[in-house]
Structure 1
Amino acid sequence: MSEVLVVVGPGLVADAGLLQEIATREFATLGVSGTLVHARDASHVLALLTGAASAVVLPGPSDEVRGLIGRPLGAVVWVDVERADGVRAGAGAAHLHGRGINGLAWGIRHAVHRERHPSRRIAYGELPDQWGELYLPGGPEGGRAVPVVVLVHGGYWRSIWAADLMEPLCADLAGRGFAVWNLEYRRPDLHGWQATTADVAAGLAALTTTAASPGGVPPGDGPGDRAIPPGFAEVAGFLDLGKVAVVGHSAGAQLALRAAADRARAAGQHVPDAGADAARAAGQGVPGAGAGPERGAGRGAVRAGAVGGEARIVLAVSLAGVLDLVQGDRRWLSSGAVASALGAPAPARLDRPAPGHPAPGHLTDDEAARLYAESSPLLRLPLHVRQLIVQGTADDLDLVDFSRRHARAAKESGDDVIHVEMPGDHFDVINPGTPIWQATARAIGSALRQ
């Protein structure tokens, strides 16, 4: 590919030598040539970007430089090392933020991936984070439609992490002959838990329902029901919707397995009190399990709709997943990420919720218990879908514990489960070059090609 240009805006608070070290390391790792330049001002940034095929810009604090982010300057990857919510890049550009100085590494990887592996961005709703990237293999095997893998990124449900985390898997899976739908969604730190779960359901439904529906628009009774991406209509015949795998990493695994359970229930496979059964199997009594999905996801929500046509999830995959939300909260996983995402801590006694009315901005124990029972994969068992639980032994030991207990409880509930535990850390499970991912990819391929 052509050279990657890295531009550092004036006033950026960072050690220049460290920036060069990071860029040099990423250029070597990715096998590209690159140059890092410190710009004097906004006009210098513009001049540098002119004619650059692939550019990463750390804009820094300058208002003049930051004013360029929203302009249509091509496939620029803007990287804010500090958190910068609500920044929207111009057409064809991208914005990453809040990942610290190592955000430069993520920006370079994203820029190289975009050039090497073209994809099609398709919106499934009206809001900025309601989209997915569709990757297609070179051609269907033997002229037949190909199975589909839906990817749901993690990041402990925080907005600084986005769908670019899963890009290495997009390229690997497409190279193995699968269509890949890399899903973005609103995160609860900015939009609330209901918006997050609604978006994942809608993004999944957009793929499976649209391609199975002539004209790309399924039946509906409200404006939101029409927000199904027409971009799938032209590739409908290319996708084998009878063979769909949903794959989530870390917190994304919780979202993926929950979405698979919701769709199984919508198809009539899930009994109303399955959450309570799973709770008993896991040794945790939870009242109100099996309550309906949260409502009121807010503007931009897209109703998932019924399972239609031949669309069928045949495999749900957890890659280092946060599968036990109750213990995830009680053990203060990632500095309280679970309660922060759900909007409430796990009740002290799940088997005996305290009576009373919710305090302003809070849930009663009974309401929180229902929320956790609906959201935690462990408490939703049986999911009534085949599961592949993948975990690296060098990861957070709480995640190792969650994966082992979920796999055991899932088998006891009657689900078909494969548990893969191998050497590897939290990111090895989404690194195509590692043995643990190679084993995972083979297992996904085996399930989708049966």
Structure 2
Amino acid sequence: MSVADEEPALLGLAPVAPDRTVAYGPHPDQIVDVYEPRAGDGSGRAAARGPLVVLLHGGFWRAAYDRRHLSPLAAELAGQGMPVALAEYRRVGAGGGAPQTFEDVTVALGAARAALADTAADPALVLIGHSAGGHLALLAAARPGTPVTRVLAVAPVADLARAHELGLSDGAVAELLGAGPGLPERLAAADPVRHPPSGIPVTILHGTEDPEVPVDLSRRYAARHPGGTELRELPGVGHYAPVTPGSPSCHTFIRCVQRPCST
């Protein structure tokens, strides 16, 4: 698959309906889709064989992009025997932005744990984020007392200040945080580079040919926080293949979910 083919390959997959949806607030986007563990042969539900997984989608924090493009990935992980919660959150243009988006992630984690408490065989909670969702996952890893056991960030916006300097996605960072006076302070508070993981192992997967979020952002994060971070670069891979079921880099991703990449 070429880098140019990656986005249509992911967005061309049919959405997969969840087993149930749980609300964690009054806003329509404050919901979590639950995917129960299933037998890999498609024969039905199965006992969990892995950790509880919470997925955060990307889309540069904008309301134009929702969680449905990651539903095939959620179903794929459930087919590997893992209980999965695909979280939605308020986004820019529909009641989100700072601080609402960040607050929603915290509450959604609690809702996901409660919804899947009777399903998970493993007490670990693996938080996975793609792109802007990777930024949110890395921020969650930095919060003291977080329920997260491990973070897997895929092509994350890991250095928010650098992303702002580059003007990624036509100024998405300024849209998230709000332009004008006080932006430097808000940027510092929301930038994963400035907030080390709170004793939580972090694995980053990033394609070397990513045209949406340059791999340099992940390299900068890993250099800043070397103790608890493993950066795994995927040669020749772009932005979407690691979260597209069936692609070789998605096989790598799934192995990293099942166990830390270094093992």
With a CA cutoff of 8 Å and minimum separation of 6, indicate the structure with the bigger relative contact order.
2
Structure 1 distance, partners of 2:129, 2:237, is 17
Tell me the residue number matched to 1:425. Answer: 238
SS in structure 2 of the partner of residue 109 of structure 1 = coil
For residues 108 and 423 of structure 1, the distance between their equivalents in structure 2, rounded to whole angstroms, comes to 22
SS at match of 1:200: helix
SS in 2 for 1:121: strand
| Partner SS, residue 27 of structure 2 | coil
Q: Deviations over 1:242-276 (max 9, x none)?
A: 311111111110011112212xx1x2xxxxxxxxx
TM-score between both structures, scaled by the size of structure 1 = 0.51
Match of 2:46 in 1: 139
- Which SS does the other structure have where 2:34 is aligned? strand
Partner of residue 153, structure 1? 57
Between the aligned partners of 1:363 and 1:316, the Cα distance in structure 2 is 33
Matched with 1:185 is 89
The C-alpha deviation readout for 1:270-320, integer Å capped at 9, x for no partner, is xxxxxxxxxxxxxxxxxxxxxxxxxxxxxxxxxxxxx6xxxx422111111
Q: What's the offset of the Cα at 1:383? A: 3.9
Query: Could you say which residue in structure 1 is the equivalent of 2:106?
Result: 201
Q: Say if 2:151 is the partner of 1:316.
A: yes
Where do 1:189-268 residues align within 5 Å?
Answer: 189-191=93-95, 192-208=97-113, 211=114, 232=115, 236-240=117-121, 242-262=123-143, 265=144, 267=145
Match for residue 187 of structure 2 among 363, 366, 372: 372
**1:350 aligns to what?**
none
1:447 corresponding residue in structure 2:
260
- Give the Cα–Cα distance (whole angstroms) in 2 for the partners of residues 242 and 133 of structure 1: 20
What does 1:400-411 align with in structure 2 at a 5 Å threshold?
A: 400-411=215-226
Any idea what SS the aligned residue of 2:210 has?
Answer: coil
Task: Give 2:20's match in structure 1, choosing from 115, 120, 140.
Answer: 120
Give unmatched runs, 5+ long, in structure 2: 1-7, 38-44
Hey, what's the Cα distance between the residues in 1 that align with 2:258 and 2:192?
23
Tell me the residue number matched to 1:162. Answer: 66
Q: Give ranges in structure 1 of 5+ residues lacking alignment.
A: 1-101, 212-231, 268-306, 345-361
Equivalent position amino acid for 1:377 in 2 = P
Give SS of 2:59's match: coil
What does the per-residue CA deviation read over 1:371-423, in whole Å, with 9 as the maximum and x for residues that have no partner? 22221111112442111111112212752111122122221xx2242424333
CA-to-partner distance for each residue in 1:65-95, whole Å, 9 max, x for gaps? Answer: xxxxxxxxxxxxxxxxxxxxxxxxxxxxxxx
Alpha-carbon distance between aligned partners in 2 of 1:119 and 1:107, rounded to the nearest angstrom: 22
Whether contact under 8 Å (2:164, 2:174) holds in the other structure is: yes
Deviation, 1:106, is 5.0
CA RMSD, 1 decimal: 2.4
1:189 and 1:395 map into 2 onto residues whose CA distance is: 26
Tell me how far apart the structure 2 counterparts of residues 181 and 108 of structure 1 sit (CA, whole Å): 19
Query: Once structures 1 and 2 are overlaid, which stretch shifts more, 319-328 or 235-244?
Result: 235-244
**2-structure distance, mates of 1:107, 1:132:** 23
Contact 1:150–1:245 at 8 Å: present in 2 too?
Answer: yes
Structure 2 counterpart SS, 1:122: strand
TM-score (norm 2): 0.85
Which residue identity is paired with 2:72?
P
Identity %: 34
SS at match of 2:136: helix
Give 3-state SS (helix, strand or coil) of 1:129's partner.
coil
- Which of the pair has more CA radius of gyration? 1
Query: In structure 2, what is the Cα distance between the partners aligned to 1:390 and 1:108?
Result: 22
Residues 111-152 of structure 1, C-alpha deviation per residue, up to 9 Å, x if partnerless? xx23xxx421111111111101100112225xxx74111000
Distance 1:382 1:132 in 2: 24
Q: Write out aligned runs for 1:11-410 (5 A).
A: 106=11, 109-110=14-15, 113-114=16-17, 118-137=18-37, 138-141=45-48, 146-191=50-95, 192-208=97-113, 211=114, 232=115, 236-240=117-121, 242-262=123-143, 265=144, 267=145, 312-344=147-179, 362-364=180-182, 368-396=183-211, 399-410=214-225
User: What are the Cα deviations for residues 211-262 of structure 1, in whole angstroms up to 9, with x where unaligned?
Assistant: 3xxxxxxxxxxxxxxxxxxxx2xx5322246311111111110011112212
Count of residue pairs brought into register by the alignment:
246
CA distance in 2, matches of 1:250, 1:341: 14
Q: Distance in 2 between matches of 1:109 and 1:434?
A: 16
Is the Cα–Cα contact under 8 Å of residues 189 and 341 in structure 1 kept in the other structure? no
- Which whole-Å CA distance do the structure 1 matches of 2:214 and 2:139 have between them? 17
Pair 129,398 (structure 1): closer, same or farther in 2 beyond 3 Å:
closer
Residue aligned with 2:52, SS: strand
Distance in 2, Cα, partners of 1:199 & 1:317: 19
